[in-house]
Amino acid sequence: MHTKRTIIEIDEILCNGCGKCVPACHEGAIEIVDGKARLVAEKFCDGLGACLGDCPTGALRIVERAAESFDEKAVEAHLRSASARREPESACPSARVQVFDRAEGPARRDAADIPSALSHWPIKIRLVPPDAPFLQNAHLAVTSDCVPFAYAAYHEEFLRGKVALVGCPKFDDPEAYTLRFADMFSQSSIRGVTVIVMQVPCCQGLPVIIRNAMAMAGVRIPADTIVVGLDGKVLARQVL
């Protein structure tokens, strides 16, 4: 049944996909889909706006419009069945404590014999000059901070032949990232971008930053996204 009531509205242009609104909504009404916050279902939103203060870009607001009535029982069922529900003791889905069963494998060769694929320094997004010489004609491996720890073959499979740019859209400034990449795309001859992120919501802002930076620079560069699970497996590969 639809009635006129208050409900959350999400501005997709302002949303940077940081995911901070997801744990702030105790009804599970918001999810990150394709790098943007989305309202899962109108009946899950109570319209009280508990998520508003957690949005760093002002993409959320409360409006009054015709919407499906809030259904508390549906919310309870939704929270019970959601595989990625927020843990009560955690402020963010990415901070949920987990333990992985890692069987000890056979002895590996000496680490000194394993070549690094890193070809340059610095690697932090905010420290790399937009006109750094190693950016010229480069294919960027724009990597979330946690990826190299989760994915054991990061150097061999993701980094070799590419330029690493590493950062975290949750703890750094997404707007500053967007401006930095826009300057890189404008000043350097970037030939490709691979964005490598973890499956957690806050990571999904990184592909959005790259798309926005390309639009700001007025360029279109071949780009793709790789999503790595918390268990270290590749979950998805898609064109950005």
Coil, helix or strand at residue 60: strand
Does one domain contain both 137 and 88? no
Does one domain contain both 122 and 177? yes
Query: 43, 78, 93 — which closes off a domain?
Result: 93
Residue 108 lies in a domain: no
* CATH assignment at residue 28: 3.30.70.20
Coil, helix or strand at residue 6: strand
Total domains in the chain come to: 2
Does one domain contain both 86 and 138? no
Range of the domain at 67: 2-93
How many residues are given for the chain? Answer: 240
Q: How far apart are CA 214 and CA 149, in angstroms?
A: 28
188 Cα distance to chain centroid: 25
In tens digits, the chain (240 residues) has pLDDT values of 788 999 999 998 888 888 788 878 888 899 888 778 899 999 999 988 888 877 888 899 999 999 999 998 998 888 887 644 444 444 455 555 555 565 666 656 565 677 889 999 999 999 999 999 999 999 999 999 999 999 999 999 999 999 999 999 888 888 899 999 999 999 999 999 999 999 887 788 899 899 999 999 999 999 999 999 988 999 999 998
Q: How far apart are CA 168 and CA 174, in angstroms?
A: 9
Can you give the pLDDT at residue 48?
A: 87
Can you give the pLDDT at residue 94?
A: 56
Does one domain contain both 85 and 132? no
Q: Are strands 192-198 and 223-228 parallel, antiparallel or unpaired?
A: parallel
Does one domain contain both 152 and 70? no
Does one domain contain both 81 and 175? no
pTM: 0.64
Q: How far apart are CA 132 and CA 237, in angstroms?
A: 28
Residue with tokens 């509205």: 9
Residue 105 lies in a domain: no
Q: Does the CA dihedral 185-190-35-228 come out positive or negative?
A: negative
Does one domain contain both 22 and 127? no
Residue 205 lies in a domain: yes
Residue with tokens 């590419």: 162
Q: How far apart are CA 240 and CA 238, in angstroms?
A: 6
Does one domain contain both 45 and 122? no
